[in-house]
């Protein structure tokens, strides 16, 4: 959540509390109008909080799945693809599909890496007996395919968290705009609801304020270029003597 959206949420929370604390005074003579406004504040505040939780949860989920995906990619390369590539480099150089048994480049994009790993798995299956004779387990092809599936699933989960976080961020931005509108409408109604009570009106204005980020504000302005209007002209050579 960005600072401004957090500030809007805090303003809505204070506004909700203010309406609850002063309901008896504010609602007198306009109960239905006040009830609708109070319900609107509560709904928008709940939406802000819900989107914030969803945004944060999916960000944390994205980080977790990204770390898991990096580990699975490392394990896939080192535990399965590298042994196959080393055996092939020493014993299968003359087979037609030797290129399919070589390690993918480290810099290859993720989806290209998955395709390359699946191609390597298929090629290795064709040379199953030769690879097993150098110590690979009997189920190496199935185990490799399962490792690729786990890696691809982790990648899908990571992307899913990223997409849901983007949706929550958009929802949070839109709801923060709606919250500003709600506060502006309440500003217009509050002088009538407070019935001339300036102290109560001032308390509302303090409660609904969307507060700026704390810290000093820079007031530095760019200095104007020096004026040469009254400057003496430059004179070459030594000063004149009397």
**Contact (Cβ atoms closer than 8 angstroms) between residue 22 and residue 142:** no
Cα separation values, 191 from 163, 184, 195, 196, 210, Å: 44, 12, 6, 7, 19
Per-residue pLDDT of the chain (242 residues; tens, 9 = 90+): 788 899 999 999 999 999 999 999 999 999 999 999 999 999 999 999 999 999 999 999 999 999 999 999 999 999 999 998 988 888 777 777 677 788 888 888 999 999 999 999 998 888 888 888 888 899 999 999 999 999 999 999 999 999 999 999 999 999 999 999 999 999 999 999 999 999 999 999 999 999 877 655 555 554 444 444 444 443 344 444 43
Question: At residue 2, what are phi and psi to the nearest 5 degrees?
Answer: -75, 160
**Whether this model's pTM surpasses 0.85:** no
């Amino acid at each position: 959540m960005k600072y401004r959206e957090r500030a809007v949420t805090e303003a809505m929370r204070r506004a909700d509390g203010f309406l609850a604390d002063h309901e008896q005074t504010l609602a007198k003579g306009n109960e239905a109008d006040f009830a609708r406004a109070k319900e609107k504040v509560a709904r928008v505040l709940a939406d802000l909080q819900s989107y914030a939780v969803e945004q944060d949860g999916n960000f944390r989920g994205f980080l977790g799945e990204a770390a898991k995906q990096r580990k699975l990619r490392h394990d896939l390369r080192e535990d399965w693809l590298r042994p196959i590539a080393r055996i092939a480099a020493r014993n299968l150089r003359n087979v037609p599909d030797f290129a399919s048994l070589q390690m993918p480049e480290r810099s290859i994009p993720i989806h290209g890496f998955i395709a390359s790993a699946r191609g390597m798995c298929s090629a290795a299956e064709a040379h199953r007996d030769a690879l097993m004779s150098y110590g690979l387990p009997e189920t190496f092809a199935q185990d490799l395919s399962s490792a690729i599936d786990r890696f691809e699933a982790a990648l899908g989960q990571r992307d899913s968290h990223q997409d849901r976080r983007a949706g929550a961020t958009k929802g949070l931005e839109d709801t923060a705009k709606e919250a500003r509108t709600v506060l502006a409408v309440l500003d217009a109604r509050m002088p009538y609801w407070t019935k001339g009570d300036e102290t109560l009106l001032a308390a509302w204005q303090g409660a609904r304020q969307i507060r700026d980020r704390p810290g000093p504000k820079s007031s530095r302005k760019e200095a104007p270029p020096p004026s040469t209007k009254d400057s003496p002209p430059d004179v070459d050579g030594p000063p004149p003597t009397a």
